[in-house]
Structure 1
Amino acid sequence: MSGGVARFEVPRYTLEELRAEPQRLMHYLQAPDTQCTEPNAYTSADLSLLPLLDERAEHPDPKEAAEHANHANQNALHVLQNVETNLRAILSSALGEDYNDDDLVETLQRLTEQLQVSTSKSTTQQHEEADDAPSETLEQLYIARNCTQLLAEADEVEAQAMARTDDVHAQMNALQRLTILVDGVSLSQQKDGLQFPKRAREELVRRRDALYGQLERRYHTALREALQAMHWPPPELENPDATKKREVKPVHILGNSQLEGAWSDVCELQLTGAELGLCGAPSCIKPLPLVSTSEIPGSTPAQPGSDAYVPLTAASILFQPILLRFRFHFDSDRSTNRLDKPEWFLRHMLALVQMNSELFAPAPDAWHPGGQIAELTRLRRPTSPDQPFRKRHILADTAAELLHNALYPLRKKIHASMPLLVSEPALLAHSIFQYLTFDADLREAYHPALMASDGRGAVRLADDVLGNDTWFKQWLDGERVFAQRRFDAVLESPTAWTLVQADTLTNENDPSLDAVAGPTRDADAAVDALTTTLSACTLTNILAGVTERYQPLHSLAQQCAFVIHVQRPLLSQFEVRLSRHMDAMEAMSSIFSRAIPGEIGSLDASSNNEEVRGTKGITRIMKALLSAEFVRQQLEEWSETSFFLDMNENIASLDKS
């Protein structure tokens, strides 16, 4: 084999080159060309003639030549095997599950066909995309044209509304048409990079809201001017405290055409805005009864005075002048605005509710007349005969409007003062007591406060305040500390274990006890003709006073909190004190007895075991027994009252659930 002869070289194509020109795969299967065949033949002939040549001929050693040829052959086979392995790996990666490991030639042919088909599809897809481009552009032009038409129609609607400013019906129609145009620009029409529908919708929304705001300002101003023209409110309604002692003349607001027209316009705008989703529906509007019970709305109306309640705008405008005196006295730096006198502004607002109750009297049903506010709100004007009766008629709970306009300012004022009250436990307890009293007085003086909101009643000021966990805990801690200090003061008194009459807290042998026991009098906790100790009687009075604090509460958890954190610790402390005294008696030790503070009976320095023997010992035991028996009897009597029976039933129902 000559060293200068060229040998057959295996093709070395990359994967990208094979994908670009699939026909190159056939180069791996072709035989060597003729230029490589002849040198190979000469080499074989030379090898076969080597034994016949002269040993002196200048020729390589046959053995070495054979080994060299064999080595070259092995290298060529190794290269071919590597090429085949790489080719199979490339085919396996390209074909995946379709790769056939048995027949390499068939696999190469199938891959070539697939590449040709893929190239054809890619070319076809490019042509289709080129064909779709004009259609997509045309669709965008159609969307732009539709949006332009909607904006042009909006201009026409606004022009018609401006030309007929005195026609309420035309204004409402314009507002409805603008809302329909807003809904006509569907957000689903937005394509990638196409912002025209979005901008058109934003412009239509802006125009609709601008028209609604303009009508709202105009109608509200007209109603205020109508009220001022009739000198609203009368002095007797503005200052109820000054008119309590004299007869109040009835107020007449019906029959004033200017007021009736302005009132109906404001109501019409609010109800139309509620239908279009521009504002909340008034909570006082009641749907008329339906024939089909399946159509009765299931939502519960909001409570008057709450944040969720949506007031009737016309009624709020009417009530604003009535609240001017309230704001002047109790929302300013006047001397009447005192933090320690919440009963002043509560009493004033209660008088306002009572004074205006006749004006805001609700209609009993859809056919009988009600108060003047109910009659003003009853019919929507302008009305169209072709509208159904349910669309033209309004049944409003005007009593709920009166309660909301009175309670909502109170809630805001109370919330503003709570950060100052929580730092003063005494003022906080006094204020909460006044809130509880106001809630009870309001429901007693004005019965719709109980039946508003489908029987849920109006908002309770005390529940609104105590619904805040921080404020409730501050109040609870203040009551606990006050009760504990009062009980400790009695136990540390030298007269703590003096026998007294439970009904009068007096001692026949020591009249001076009247002055000591005077502050602890409580007739509700007294029991006739019972003798007990002053400490036991004072304990029951304290427990009864605490019960009065939490009895008006409507939360079972809050009631139980007072029992657990205020009343039970006092009972436990008293029980421990009695047990310690009885242990001292049992030990019969005067030294141990003197070491107990607040002991039953005083011992001087010369006392001995005689103090716990005989009549003196019996007296000490009887005082402990009378104290325990009196407290036990009081607890049993309280457990049979309706309040604690209801409380026990509520707790039992929780255990069952």
Structure 2
Amino acid sequence: MTELTNRSSSSQVADEERDIRVEDYLDDKLQNSTDLANIDALLEDVKAQQVLLQKQLQEAKGTLDESTEASRTHSNDTCERAKKYKSQQADIDRRLFIITRSETSDDAVRKFDASMESLRKLDVAQGYMELLIEVEKLSSEARRNFKKSPQAALQPYLRLQTLVNALREAQPAAEDAAPHLVDHVDRNARTLWKQMKDAFSSDFEATLRKMQWPGKDVTLDGSLEQEWNDGVKKLLELQEPELKARDNQDFEKASREEQLVLLPLEVMAKPLELRFKYHFEGDRPTNRLDKPEYFLSHVVGLLNTYDEFFAIYLQPILRDHFRISNLALTSIYIDSTSAFITSLLPMLRHKIFTLLPRIFHQPQLLSHLVHEIMSFDISMRDEWNYDGGNAVEGWKGLTWEVLVKKDWFGRWLEVEKNFALSRYQNIIDSPESGEIDYDSVNSGATKPTYAAVRVNDLLETITDRYRPLTSFSQKLRFLIDIQITIFDRLHSRLHDSLEAYLTITSSIARTVQGVSRESQAELRGLGGLERLCRVFGSAEYLEKKMRDWSDDIFFLELWDELQDRARRSTGEEPCWTYEHRRCSRADIECCRLRGRHRRSL
């Protein structure tokens, strides 16, 4: 009864509100008598609005019904899935209990995880066994084919080597989990590789004997040339996995290792190495400690003799082979001359590294050997365009290997310093060192002493001796430890001479040291003037010579590198201001192009 009363009250309130809105609407539309004429149009407008509202109401009801039905369906589906999930969870728990015979679900999960770990280990073991079976199959196939035709054994070997490289690459990600497996596969591959290399090399050596290699006039006819080409290609194909592994290394790691020698050239270098040992490792007159230029010039002679042969017959094979292999190799593999140089370097290294300990206590021989090696390196770089596989920085050279890798720089620097200081002392101790050299400069310039001229020649000689070095730190140590040391000694000598003159000619000298008036008068006369001219002329001469160093590209590069290192260490831009008192036109243009020159007036 109360509900009916409330509904009746709500209906009355709604009717009253509707009447009020109708009344307001009519008051707004019918404000005067003229609006009565438009009552028909007003009624039509009201009917149209009513129809539109009825249509919108029907659409809203339909949308509401669809949403209600979709919500009901979704709710039913969710309930069904929840029931199914609970049923499946109960089934899983039941199975876990049955399988693991556990009383609690946590205990069952732990036992189940242990079982899964065992299965995983079983899968890994199965994978190991499959890999070992494949390795054994490839090895057997290669050996079986190898007995019939060495060429037919290449394909299984290449596949085996590919497995080795893949295992090595996967080891870091696997945290070195299978070192024994990798070692076993690698050992099989290396054993097979050695057998194939020996066989291919033996066949290739037979071909070389037919060619009468290493004769000076080596020529190839049609059939012999084809046999030689086949032998080269087989060895290149055998070495290709090794070259690919080196090609995939990062640049820094590859630069620390010695460059690979192509197998065909390794075989062809063997008779050359025997000839080299015959001449330079026995009792022959050519094997002399004081003549390292003999064996270095011998290697240059080999290049001059056989470079044309390799350019004609080997270069086309290298070009075609490495173009197909699609390896990003350096010039020491794709250029026949560079490849030939690389094959000759091992015997040179062996000779030099064997020779060094024998001359450790013989400074002259050590100095001579190092400078001959420097000349050889320059010849390889400039005359033969050998970059050692580093097209950016160039070949560091055998000098770098001796001084840096074998750590002989300290001993060599000590030898050179002792030579330089000994030569400096001989210059100073010579009877005519303090005399003026009137012919060393033009007539309009002050005259230096013989000592100043010879010391400058010594400094320039020292520069020429360490100019070929490629290491900045080594150049800087030569400059500081030797040249600046000599400068300091000569400067101290000139300064002491000037101080002695000033002391003797002072009034205190007559009183304290007992210098007579006649001696002072003589020192203040022509004798003293000549003494001052020696000091002044020597100092000015050396100052002018040192200014000339600023025009030398060698010292400009030293300065440039020093400023670069200072900038990298401090994080600041260096001041690239060359304030020369005088500059050659070439130096000004060079510095201007580099944006680093400001000539001071």
Match in the other structure for 2:350: 412
Partner in structure 2 of residue 580 of structure 1? 496
Which consecutive unaligned segments of at least 5 residues does structure 2 have?
A: 1-100, 172-176, 569-601
Give the aligned residue type for 1:651. Answer: L
Provide closer, same or farther for how the CA distance between residues 593 and 617 of structure 1 changes in structure 2, counting only shifts above 3 A: farther
User: 8 Å contact 2:151–2:234 — kept in the other structure?
Assistant: no
1:335 to 268, 277, 285: 285
Match of 1:640, SS state, is coil
CA distance in 2, matches of 1:202, 1:582: 76
> What is the correspondence of 1:471-550 to structure 2 with a 5 Å cutoff?
471-503=408-440, 531-550=447-466
Matching residue of 1:172: 154
What's the counterpart of residue 317 of structure 2? Answer: 376
Q: 1:265 aligns with which of 200, 220, 234?
A: 234
Measured after TM superposition, the shift of residue 528 of structure 1 is 8.0
Q: CA deviation at 1:272?
A: 4.1
CA distance in 2, matches of 1:319, 1:477: 37
Amino acid at match of 1:410: L
Amino acid at match of 2:361: S
1:125-140 alignment, distance < 5 Å: none
Query: 2-side partners of 1:576 and 1:393: how far apart?
Result: 58
Secondary structure of 1:357 counterpart: helix
What residue number does 2:214 align with? 233
2:318 and 2:335 in contact (8 A); partners too: no
Unaligned runs of 5+ in 1: 1-119, 189-194, 237-248, 284-296, 362-370, 382-387, 504-525, 595-603
- The one-letter amino acid paired with 1:173 is Q
For residues 617-656 of structure 1, what are the structure 2 equivalents within 5 Å?
Answer: 617-656=528-567
- Matched residue type, 2:307: S
Cα distance in 2 for partners of 1:300, 1:481 equals 36
Partner of 2:383 in structure 1? 445
Equivalent of 1:211, from 184, 192, 213? 192
Q: 1:568 aligns with which of 484, 493, 500?
A: 484
Matches within 5 A, 1:277-316: 280=246, 299=251, 307-316=257-266
CA 1:608–1:332 in structure 2 vs 1: closer, same or farther (change >3 Å)? same
1:259-313 Cα shifts (integer Å, max 9, x gaps): 22222221111114555x6xx56x9xxxxxxxxxxxxx9848967xx84311211
Does the Cα contact within 8 Å between 2:436 and 2:449 map onto a contact in 1?
Answer: yes
- Given that 2:359 and 2:365 are in contact with CA atoms closer than 8 Å, whether structure 1 keeps it comes out as yes
**How far apart are the structure 1 equivalents of 2:567 and 2:179?**
57
Mapped partners of 1:399, 1:418: distance in 2: 28
Q: Deviation at 1:128?
A: 8.1
**Cα separation, partners in 2 of 1:482 and 1:179, compared to 1, 3 Å:** closer
Letter in 1 for 2:198: R
Give the Cα–Cα distance (whole angstroms) in 2 for the partners of residues 480 and 393 of structure 1. Answer: 45
User: Using a 3 Å threshold, how does the CA distance of structure 1 residues 619 and 409 change in structure 2: closer, same or farther?
Assistant: same
Check the 8 A contact 1:499/1:532 in 2, yes or no: yes
Give me the whole-angstrom Cα distance separating, in 2, the residues matched to 1:220 and 1:354: 25
Greater RCO, 1 or 2 (C-alpha within 8 Å, sep 6+): 1
| Residue equivalent to 1:354 | 304
Which whole-Å CA distance do the structure 1 matches of 2:454 and 2:272 have between them?
Answer: 48
Q: How far apart in 2 are the matches of 1:158 and 1:320? A: 29
- Once the 2 structures are TM-superposed, how far is the Cα of residue 349 of structure 1 from its aligned partner? 0.9
Structure 1 distance, partners of 2:442, 2:123, is 92
> Aligned equivalents of 1:631 and 1:139: distance in 2?
81
Instruction: Give 1:66's aligned residue.
Output: none
Q: Which residue of 2 aligns with 1:103?
A: none
Task: Name the CA distance, whole Å, in 2 between partners of 1:479 and 1:400.
Answer: 33
1:320 aligned to 270, 277, 289, which one? 270
Letter in 1 for 2:428: L
Q: In structure 2, do the counterparts of structure 1 residues 149 and 586 end up closer, same or farther at CA, with 3 Å as the change threshold?
A: closer
Secondary structure, counterpart of 1:233 in structure 2: coil
Q: Separation in 1 of the partners of 2:106 and 2:442?
A: 102
Name the amino acid aligned to 1:439.
D
Q: What is the rounded CA distance, in whole Å, between the counterparts of 1:638 and 1:134 in structure 2? A: 80
Normalization by structure 1: what TM-score?
0.58
Structure-2 separation of matches of 1:607 and 1:418 = 62
Change in CA separation of 1:618 and 1:317 when aligned onto 2, cut-off 3 Å: same
Distance 2:449 2:392 in 1: 48
Task: Tell me if structure 2 keeps the 8 A contact 1:380–1:393.
Answer: no
State the Cα distance separating 1:329 from its structure 2 match.
Answer: 1.3
Task: Pick closer, same or farther for the CA change 1:322–1:376 going to 2, 3 Å.
Answer: farther
Match of 1:558 among 467, 474, 494: 474
Worse overlay, 340-349 or 201-210: 201-210
Closer, same or farther: CA 450–396 of 1 in aligned 2, 3 Å: closer
Task: Decide whether the 8 Å contact of 2:211 with 2:219 is kept in 1.
Answer: no
The answer to whether the 8 Å contact 1:302/1:453 transfers is: no
Q: Which amino acid is 1:372 matched to?
A: Y
Residue 180 of structure 1: how far off its partner (Å): 7.5
Matched residue type, 1:411 = R
Report sequence identity in percent: 25
After TM superposition, the structure 1 = structure 2 runs for residues 32-111 of structure 1, keeping only pairs within 5 Å, are none
Pick which of 155-164 and 125-134 moved more: 125-134
SS, match of residue 554 in structure 1? coil
Give the match's secondary structure for 1:546: helix
Match of 1:567, as an amino acid? Q
AA in 1 matched with 2:351:
K
Q: Secondary structure at the match of 2:437?
A: strand
Question: Structure 1 residue 154: deviation in Å?
Answer: 5.5
Give the partner amino acid of 2:156: A
* In structure 2, C-alpha distance between the alignment counterparts of 1:552 and 1:205, rounded to whole Å: 43
Distance in 2 (CA, whole Å) between partners of 1:322 and 1:360 is 15
Larger radius of gyration: 1
State the shift of 1:204 in Å.
Answer: 5.6
- C-alpha distance 472-167 of structure 1, shift in aligned 2 (>3 A): same
Cross-structure match for 1:94 = none
Q: TM-score, normalised by structure 2?
A: 0.63
Given the superposition, is the C-alpha separation of residues 495 and 334 from structure 1 closer, same or farther in structure 2, using an over 3 Å criterion? Answer: same
8 Å CA contact 2:262–2:343 kept in 1: the answer is: no
Between the aligned partners of 1:422 and 1:642, the Cα distance in structure 2 is 33
- How far 1:406 moved relative to its partner? 2.2
Q: Contact 2:204–2:228 (CA<8 Å) still a contact in 1?
A: yes
User: 8 Å contact 1:164–1:171 — kept in the other structure?
Assistant: yes
Displacement, 1:345? 0.7
RMSD: 4.4
